[in-house]
Chains A and B, each alone.
Chain A
Amino acid sequence: MRIAAHYLVVALLIWPWLVWAGLDPAARGTGEYADHWNPDPMHEYWDPGTYHQPERERVEGVFTGEACLECHDVITPGIVKDWRGSRHAQAREPVLCPACHGDDHQKMSLPTPQTCGTCHPQRLAQMEEEKKYGFPSHALAMERAVDSKHFADKPKAEVASCLQCHSVATKCDSCHTRHRFDAAEARRPEACITCHSGPPHPDDETFFASAHGQGYLKEGKQWDWRKSLSKGNYPVPTCAYCHMKDGNHQVADKAVWKFGIRQINPESAENQIKRKRWLELCADCHPAEVGPIFFRELDAERSLTWDKLYGVERLLKGLRGQGRLIPSAGERPPYPMDWLAKLWPRERIGFYEGQASAFYNVSAIERDYFDVWYFTNLGAYKGMAHGAREMSIRFHQQMDAQVQAIGTEAQRLKETTPSGGDLKSLWMEGEYTEFNRDHN
């Protein structure tokens, strides 16, 4: 009993240290809207380059790699076991803990891509080069998240999931999990699926539903994943084979459709070049004539989808013109950093008006369209692009139903006169909005 009490006292004395270790309590947000948000303690892990603080623990001193292992074999045996299985441990000159974390226990660091780049400069260079392609991009993913109005504005508990995936830009262990940092692991679809699953990017479902994915599900367990992602090494392609051919860490080098959230010209010079890269890839296994046919069908699917989406956008813009989007933009809280919305409240319809940040605080019919545009549309696109036509068709059926429902609702909104209720005070000063402003 006395011993238990003793431990309790020690624990009570230590807990402030545990809380304060890591993220600096005064840490501010990053990016365009840095003034509007503060990071969570977990952000230390998502963006170690910016937020990691050396642990202010009791252990002091400078240690060699061997000394680290002596203690950590006991304290964190899992990590050490993982590391012993890695190529870092098996190299002629093993890469020991201090190489990445530093050797002073009071100044430990979490590795960033730049840390890994000291030994893997080509990979780091490829990843950095990806920034030249613009969005979408692994290398720009962190900025893309924190520079979103909805990310900065929402209570951090509500956007807790964003950075887990968007941190792919700021650390390497999103795909090469610590401490094995295995290339073979990252070649498997599971490495991608951690993030690339579910709406709005059902990459896992669509891939597994395709013939490629079925081949992987049937035989993938028997393949030798230590082989490089080169022609002839794998019987069917997986995510990384197509998107990171030969291990190219410039994942966006063939991104033609820009994530599917806006219409692009598939025949632009840039996209012709990217398509050529795809066709060369398809020709690793298929006759050269098959690729172009496949892509023409994808083009047709995309163009059909945009006909549908633009139809809804016209409908919504009509309602906007008649003032039938209720509550209107003036009656709902704008994002605090959106000076334009304060100056000129306007419902954002379509990609080019900034619909991407219209997740929240919009009228029901706008949100319905957001769902079609962001979730159903992308499902239909991914289904087609990953060779799962059946899924694409299903998403299109869903899209048609949603579009019809929006049409019916639009008709109803047109015919009813707007209610005279005090929507403005309800939305602008509601409990949720107040909370939101205090907790971001």
Chain B
Amino acid sequence: MNPTVSTPSRRIIPIRLMPADQQRSLAGRYAWWVKMLAWIFFAWAFLGWLNDAWLYRFGTPLWLNRYTEPVIILLFGIWRIMAEKNAYTRRRLIFLVANVTVLWWLIPWGHPFIEPHAGYLAGLPAFPSLHSPGTLTFFLVLAAVFLFGRRIICGWNCPCVGIREVVGFPFRHTDHVPRSAWAWRLRHLKWFWFALYLGAMWAMTRPANNITSGYLGFFAMMVVLPYFATMLLSPWIGNRGYCRYLCPYGATFGLLNRVGMFRIDYRADLCIQCGKCEKVCDMAIPVWRMGAANQGRVDTTECMGCGRCITECPTGSLAFHDARNLVFPALRQDREHLLQRSDFSRTAVRWRTAGFFLLLAVVLGGAVYYSSQVGTWGELPTRLGAICGLPLITW
């Protein structure tokens, strides 16, 4: 005798999709074709790298080489900047896309030049060789991260975040981002990659031999393949799966995040415990829980400074804290402060933005000048001199 099982009738809630030309901090669901488009461009960037590093087909043109990724970032970036509704995020995207375009595409593409460096990389580090320990960029970025946190590179400058942010936007929704407690624990995976990176740092202290050059090749594959694989896996691990779980550079900068001056301040007295901060975080950081547990400090290796939690906090309970707070103790970089800094109708903001783009232009011009000075017969120590304007010495 079978008891009749009554299946509870499921009310079908129609999913309201977000139009592709709109983006908010709180991730929306997007139509299948938007996701498909994003995935195709992820795959395209991967093919570009594959062709550049391995296949060398079609003479590695711009649409299928290592610069395909920044080109995609620029194209999608313009679209996303126009779609973005959060003023601070829009400002960040403008800086991010501009940085990636100039520093990671235009300079190395049009005027490749070698950075002064210490150690042995089994090759010459072409600018911007952030990933090669011992180069000028590497040390400058480490110092800047110590002062201002991972924002300096990850949130505002990184092509890896760039493509995940502007192409991977449909995969920000909780449909795609695992936010459970065990998923949060998986972030420790990246310390394995960090250990591999320490090995690479060791290998670079010695001139190339079988062991060091073999290890560096292995390390490069261990970074690049997961880098692109996680893009293609975005529908299942979220757009920032790589940054959260695997990035050895993120781990390095994250350590400096911890020991350095950057953190997020949390004021329990203002907090209404709405949980918005945790929902908007692409890195799936439990912002509120950490703030409440750690005497008002959210000091984590994971935060790359997108500022979504702060600008979305309805009561201004959260605020950035970095080297600037040493100089201006009264400064509170909370929601109001950040949004003001993003209001382009204000003259100060316009000046500041113009100043930034002027700086970027100076870097571009400097790179063109510098690369016209090197590439001749000077050796590397004298090339270091060329940066300071010293004449090339030949003997």
Interface, chain A (partner B; CB < 8 A): 31-32, 122, 125-126, 129, 131-135, 137, 139-140, 143, 147, 245-248, 250, 253, 263, 265, 267-270, 272-273, 276-277, 280, 303
In the bound assembly, the distance between CA atoms of A277 and B114 in angstroms comes to 12
In the bound assembly, the distance between CA atoms of A122 and B52 in angstroms comes to 37
Q: List 25 A-B contacts (CB under 8 A).
A: A122-B395, A125-B379, A125-B381, A129-B380, A129-B381, A133-B123, A134-B123, A134-B208, A135-B208, A139-B207, A245-B377, A246-B395, A247-B395, A248-B394, A263-B56, A265-B53, A267-B60, A269-B112, A270-B112, A273-B113, A276-B375, A277-B376, A277-B377, A280-B376, A303-B56
Cβ contacts under 8 Å, A263 to chain B: 56
Kindly supply a per-residue 1/0 record for chain B positions 194-209, scoring 1 wherever the CB is within 8 Å of any chain A CB and 0 otherwise.
0000000000000111
Cβ contacts under 8 Å, B114 to chain A: 270, 273
Q: Within the complex, which residue of B113, B126, B375 is in contact with A280, where a contact is CB–CB below 8 Å?
A: B375
Q: Within the complex, which residue of A131, A250, A269, A303 is in contact with B108, where a contact is CB–CB below 8 Å?
A: A269
Cβ contacts under 8 Å, B381 to chain A: 125, 129
Known: A247-B395, A267-B65, A270-B126. A131 touches B380 (CB 8 A): no
Q: Which residue of A lies closest to B380 (CB)?
A: A129
In the bound assembly, the distance between CA atoms of A31 and B206 in angstroms comes to 13
Cβ contacts under 8 Å, B375 to chain A: 273, 276-277, 280
Q: How far is the CB of B263 from chain A (nearest CB, A)?
A: 36
Known: A134-B120, A134-B122, A273-B124. A32 touches B379 (CB 8 A): no
Cβ contacts under 8 Å, A247 to chain B: 395
In the bound assembly, the distance between CA atoms of A135 and B209 in angstroms comes to 9
Tell me if B124 and A250 are in contact (CB < 8 A): no
In the bound assembly, the distance between CA atoms of A26 and B107 in angstroms comes to 56
**What 8 A-B pairs are tightest by C-beta distance, nearest first?**
A269-B126, A134-B122, A269-B112, A131-B207, A134-B208, A276-B375, A270-B124, A246-B394
Is B347 on the interface with A (CB-CB < 8 A)?
no
Cβ contacts under 8 Å, A31 to chain B: 209
Known: A125-B381, A246-B377, A248-B379. A135 touches B112 (CB 8 A): no
In the bound assembly, the distance between CA atoms of A245 and B376 in angstroms comes to 10
In the bound assembly, the distance between CA atoms of A273 and B121 in angstroms comes to 16
In the bound assembly, the distance between CA atoms of A265 and B123 in angstroms comes to 13
Cβ contacts under 8 Å, B395 to chain A: 122, 246-247
Cβ contacts under 8 Å, B108 to chain A: 269
Tell me if A273 and B112 are in contact (CB < 8 A): yes
Is B315 on the interface with A (CB-CB < 8 A)?
no
Cβ contacts under 8 Å, A134 to chain B: 120-123, 208, 213
Q: Which residue of A lies closest to B395 (CB)?
A: A122
In the bound assembly, the distance between CA atoms of A303 and B117 in angstroms comes to 32
Known: A129-B379, A135-B213. A265 touches B120 (CB 8 A): no
Kindly supply a per-residue 1/0 record for chain B positions 299-312, scoring 1 wherever the CB is within 8 Å of any chain A CB and 0 otherwise.
00000000000000
Cβ contacts under 8 Å, B272 to chain A: none
Cβ contacts under 8 Å, B123 to chain A: 133-134, 270
Tell me if A147 and B113 are in contact (CB < 8 A): no
A-B contact count (CB 8 A): 86
Q: Which residue of A lies closest to B117 (CB)?
A: A132
Q: Which residue of A lies closest to B125 (CB)?
A: A270
Q: How far is the CB of A182 from chain B (nearest CB, A)?
A: 18
Cβ contacts under 8 Å, A250 to chain B: 379
In the bound assembly, the distance between CA atoms of A16 and B112 in angstroms comes to 61
Q: How far is the CB of A17 from chain B (nearest CB, A)?
A: 37
Q: Which residue of A lies closest to B376 (CB)?
A: A280
In the bound assembly, the distance between CA atoms of A32 and B381 in angstroms comes to 30
In the bound assembly, the distance between CA atoms of A25 and B208 in angstroms comes to 30
In the bound assembly, the distance between CA atoms of A142 and B275 in angstroms comes to 63
Cβ contacts under 8 Å, B60 to chain A: 265, 267
* Given A32-B209, A140-B208, 19 further pairs, Cβ under 8 A: A32-B210, A126-B379, A129-B380, A132-B120, A132-B124, A133-B124, A134-B121, A134-B213, A135-B122, A135-B208, A137-B208, A143-B209, A147-B210, A253-B377, A267-B52, A267-B59, A269-B112, A273-B114, A303-B56
Cβ contacts under 8 Å, A139 to chain B: 207
Cβ contacts under 8 Å, A133 to chain B: 123-124
In the bound assembly, the distance between CA atoms of A339 and B299 in angstroms comes to 45
Cβ contacts under 8 Å, B371 to chain A: 273
In the bound assembly, the distance between CA atoms of A112 and B33 in angstroms comes to 68
In the bound assembly, the distance between CA atoms of A267 and B110 in angstroms comes to 12
Q: Which residue of A lies closest to B51 (CB)?
A: A265
Q: Which of B58-81 contact A (CB under 8 A)?
A: 59-60, 65
Q: How far is the CB of A270 from chain B (nearest CB, A)?
A: 5
Cβ contacts under 8 Å, A267 to chain B: 52, 59-60, 65
Q: Which residue of A lies closest to B372 (CB)?
A: A276
Q: Which residue of A lies closest to B113 (CB)?
A: A273
Q: Which residue of A lies closest to B124 (CB)?
A: A270
In the bound assembly, the distance between CA atoms of A435 and B117 in angstroms comes to 48
Q: How far is the CB of B87 from chain A (nearest CB, A)?
A: 36
Cβ contacts under 8 Å, A147 to chain B: 209-210
Q: How far is the CB of B209 from chain A (nearest CB, A)?
A: 5
